[in-house]
Structure formats: structure tokens, C-alpha cells
């Protein structure tokens, strides 16, 4: 038996990185998944991976900043698989970069639209379906940047802090409906979004060695580390856990000397990892 047998999940940002790993892990544990993402090519590839593992998955193109597209992703799960049990709000971007006085209002708003409004919309449209089927699990991806600001650019850190507190307040509201709401705060994870800005090297061995130095556990963070935590929070094993902030960072927060300190680096806007600007 799988830990997610007969459960149905929507995973935003499911076409690459942590979302891809979550999708693959969920189907191996018996779930059917809707992979919602802008990246059609990546989404189709992940669907094929899930099918090869004997799982059920479909791709739904969706911009999480668009209410209608998030609503459609949730509706797709119910249409294809008959129910919804798990909502994973994972889609992300690096967003607006650089010193605070140089960040444009437009780039600030675009960052918040994906990282914070997207989570709100995922919660909003998942709640009625989760309630209708007797409860379930909402899992959002924040960041250690939402706990300690110098791990990320200013707009990114602010948005992730918002995700953490939205998780807490939503958990208090929704417990009566048997809907658990929790948040994962990754550290530096070796995904296209994290390493795409450069500074980690160009070959795999160099990237691994550089990222291993970012935290006390001396290896690069992996998307599978986040997928393992998402699996626990999605499963019935976590049925008495809600409003929790689950830090998965190899110890980066407890050894602050290795902070990424990205607040004042770069400039402009770091878009989706498959479509960087």
C-alpha cells in the first residue's frame, strides 16, 4: 500500500524542481496528480515520468497569479479524478532583485502576485472541494528567507513571510473542517530556479560542492528532500499537525554564518526558471 492511496492532489509549479519531485513522489505513493504550471514542455515530461512509474497524472497550464487559471486547475482535479484531497502551493519565481530603493513597483507587484497571491488563490479554490470531501491537506512552499530576511531578495523574503503567516491563520480557521494547513521552508535546494542566477558554477560537481558549503549538513539540498516532507504532510501520518512551519534546510538557519545574503545582489526580475529574463 502507498501512503497516498486513493488521494488526489493539485501541485502548482509541478513541471520542474521541487514540484516535479513532489509529483513523482506522490504518484509512487498512490496519488493521482494535476501538475499546474506555465511550463508546458516540462509538464508533459513529468506526466510521462509519472505514467512510467504506473501513476496517474495530467498537466494543466496555469499562471498562479490568475484566479481563473487556479480555479480551473482545481476543477480539473475533480473532473479527472473525482475529488481533491491535497493542494500543494509550490509555484515560485526569484522575482524582483537588487537594492530596495532600486526595485520597481511593477517588479514588486509581479513578485507578490506569484509568491503570495498565488498561494492565497490556491487555498481559496481548494477549500470548498477539500471540505466537500471531508477534509484534506494544504501544503505551501515558503522559504527560510521568510523567517530570516537575509536569505533572499527583499520582495521574495516579504512574500515568503506572508505565506508563513497566511498558513498559520488559515490553519486556525480551517481546523473545524478537518483541513490541515502547513508550510515547508526550504533552504538552498538544487533546482533550476535556485541555481539559475549563477554564482554556483557551471558543471554539476562544482554546483554540488558550492552548495554543500551553504549549511552545516555538507551536501546540496535536493528537491527530493522537500518532496519527502510534502509526502509526510499530505499523508494521514500528519493528521494532528496544522499551522506548522517545517524547516528543511540542512541546518542553515541554526548556523547563520552561511546566509545566502541575496538582498542586495543582482538587479531586475528573475522570472520562471524555464523562461529567465
State the catalytic residues: 156
Task: Kindly state the cell numbers that stand for 208.
Answer: 554540488
Task: Kindly state the cell numbers that stand for 158.
Answer: 516579504
CA distance 163 to 115: 8
Q: What is the 3-state secondary structure (H, E, C) of 169-206?
A: HHHHHHHHHCEEEEEEEECCECCHHHHCCCCCCCCHHH
Residue 24 and residue 50 in contact, taking contact as beta carbons nearer than 8 Å: yes
CA distance 64 to 122: 8
Q: Phi, psi (5° rounding) for residue 65?
A: -80, -10
| Pairing between β-strand 136-141 and β-strand 56-61 as defined by DSSP bridges | unpaired
Diameter over CA atoms, the chain: 54
Task: Kindly state the cell numbers that stand for 159.
Answer: 512574500
Amino acid at each position: 500500500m502507498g501512503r497516498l492511496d486513493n488521494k488526489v492532489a493539485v501541485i502548482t509549479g509541478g513541471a520542474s524542481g521541487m514540484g516535479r519531485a513532489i509529483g513523482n513522489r506522490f504518484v509512487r505513493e498512490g496519488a493521482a496528480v494535476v501538475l499546474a504550471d506555465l511550463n508546458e514542455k516540462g509538464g508533459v515530461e513529468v506526466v510521462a515520468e509519472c505514467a512510467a512509474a504506473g501513476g496517474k497524472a495530467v498537466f494543466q497550464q496555469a499562471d498562479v497569479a490568475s484566479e481563473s487559471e487556479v480555479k480551473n486547475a482545481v476543477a480539473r482535479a475533480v473532473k479527472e479524478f473525482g475529488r481533491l484531497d491535497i493542494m500543494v502551493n509550490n509555484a515560485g519565481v526569484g522575482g524582483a532583485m537588487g537594492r530596495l530603493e532600486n526595485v520597481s513597483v511593477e517588479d514588486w507587484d509581479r513578485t507578490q502576485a506569484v509568491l503570495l497571491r498565488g498561494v492565497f488563490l490556491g487555498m481559496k479554490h481548494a477549500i470548498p472541494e477539500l471540505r466537500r470531501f471531508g477534509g484534506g491537506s494544504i501544503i505551501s512552499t515558503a522559504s527560510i528567507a521568510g523567517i530570516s530576511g537575509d536569505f533572499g531578495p527583499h520582495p521574495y523574503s516579504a512574500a515568503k513571510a506572508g505565506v508563513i503567516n497566511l498558513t498559520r491563520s488559515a490553519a486556525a480557521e480551517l481546523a473545524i473542517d478537518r483541513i490541515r494547513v502547513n508550510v515547508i521552508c526550504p533552504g538552498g535546494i538544487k533546482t533550476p530556479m535556485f541555481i539559475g542566477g549563477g554564482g554556483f558554477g557551471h558543471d554539476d560537481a562544482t554546483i554540488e560542492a558550492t552548495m554543500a558549503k551553504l549549511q552545516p549538513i555538507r551536501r546540496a539540498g535536493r528537491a527530493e528532500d522537500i518532496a519527502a516532507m510534502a509526502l509526510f504532510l499530505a499523508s494521514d501520518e500528519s493528521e494532528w499537525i496544522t499551522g506548522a512551519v517545517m524547516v528543511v534546510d540542512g541546518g542553515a538557519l541554526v548556523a547563520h554564518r552561511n546566509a545566502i545574503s541575496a538582498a542586495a545582489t543582482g538587479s531586475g526580475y528573475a522570472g520562471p526558471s524555464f523562461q529567465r529574463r
